[in-house]
Amino acid sequence: MARIIAIANQKGGVGKTTTAVNLGASLAASEQKTLIIDSDPQGNATSALGFPKDPARRTLYQALILGESLERILIDAQVDGLDLIPSDKNLVGAAVELVSMENREYQLKALIQGVREKYDYILIDCPPSLDLLTLNALAASDSVLVPIQCEYLALEGVSELLDTLMRLRRTINPALSIEGILLTMYDDRTTLSKQVAADLRSFFGAQVFESVIPRNVRLAEAPSHGMPVIFYDIHSKGAESYIQLAKEVISNAQKRVGQGSERADQGTGAAASAAAAGGGVGGSGSGGSTGAGSD
């Protein structure tokens, strides 16, 4: 039965979609049957996988609002073992129309039950906000993967997001854990990237993935060719890093099976204390420091 991972950060442009598409393709290449759900009205994951805008294509909107099954909407992402639930701008309407629906946070969760058995992983690419689409994704997920861009003020909003996750654990999804914090667009030539990475590791410890995604032009180019980076340039640093991340996700899942669900609970506990101490993770008011861990 699939592990469902929401890829979320309300901050825009931090690498959510790049991670959904490339982690998804790398998991599929590791023989893990994977479904990517594009839950962002921008439809970037949909186009990055080679599906340009097409008003005739059915999307997550039809499922969320008109009650169609995901089975009827999913498409083969032209990669072995990878399927896609596409999105387009109509999904903006879904975010609004959901407001008046009963069980409005649980619509996606209910839909996913119908396809969960078919996959090893289901990745949900969230929009850059904490709207009802993101809440639906978080309510439906086992865990959340948070990409953070290694730049000045990168930590701004992380404590807000973790606060929200903790609130969600008390309300709509007590089982939600932290899959991991992922450092993206890392540039090892800059002191700043190194400092942000070190701060995050000292603050969040083992919750930060060991795999780090470098800033890599191939990752930025691949979407315009409509393919994941492992098919665009398998030898690039970007491809290597997402293959590494897929291995880490799979190995964490294997460890979790060994330990029962303990690890997940511990993980969220650490995030909870981080969120509680979140005042220091704003990056604001701390001069040139990134904030975290800089007492």
16 counts as binding Mg ion under rule CB under 5 A: yes
**By rule CB under 5 A, what string of x and - marks binding of each residue 38-67 to Mg ion?**
------x-----------------------
Helix (H) or strand (E) holding 126: none
Contacts from 227-231 at CB under 8 Å and sequence distance 24+? 227/49, 227/50, 228/21, 228/22, 228/24, 228/25, 228/26, 228/48, 228/49, 228/79, 229/22, 229/25, 230/22, 230/25, 230/26, 230/29, 231/25, 231/79
Minimum distance, C-beta of residue 222 to ligand ATP, in the bound complex (Å): 8
Please, which residue, 119 or 242, has the CB nearer to ligand ATP? 242
Please, which residue, 10 or 107, has the CB nearer to ligand ATP? 10
What 3-state DSSP class applies to 195?
Answer: helix
Please, which residue, 194 or 263, has the CB nearer to ligand ATP? 194
Q: Which residues bind ligand ATP (CB under 6 A)?
A: 12-18, 40, 42, 44, 128, 184-185, 213, 215-216, 219-220, 223, 238
Minimum distance, C-beta of residue 13 to ligand ATP, in the bound complex (Å): 4
Minimum distance, C-beta of residue 207 to ligand ATP, in the bound complex (Å): 19
17 counts as binding Mg ion under rule CB under 5 A: yes
CA–CA distance, 137 with 147 (Å, rounded to integer):
16
216 counts as binding Mg ion under rule CB under 5 A: no
Helix (H) or strand (E) holding 149: strand 143-149
Minimum distance, C-beta of residue 273 to Mg ion, in the bound complex (Å): 29
Report how far apart, in Å, the C-alpha atoms of 285 and of each of 91, 127, 154, 204, 293 are: 37, 28, 14, 20, 14
The residue type of 58 is R
Q: Which does 219 bind (CB under 5 to 8 A by kind): ligand ATP, Mg ion, none?
A: ligand ATP
Please, which residue, 12 or 114, has the CB nearer to ligand ATP? 12
Which stretches of the chain bind Mg ion, using CB under 5 A? 16-17, 44
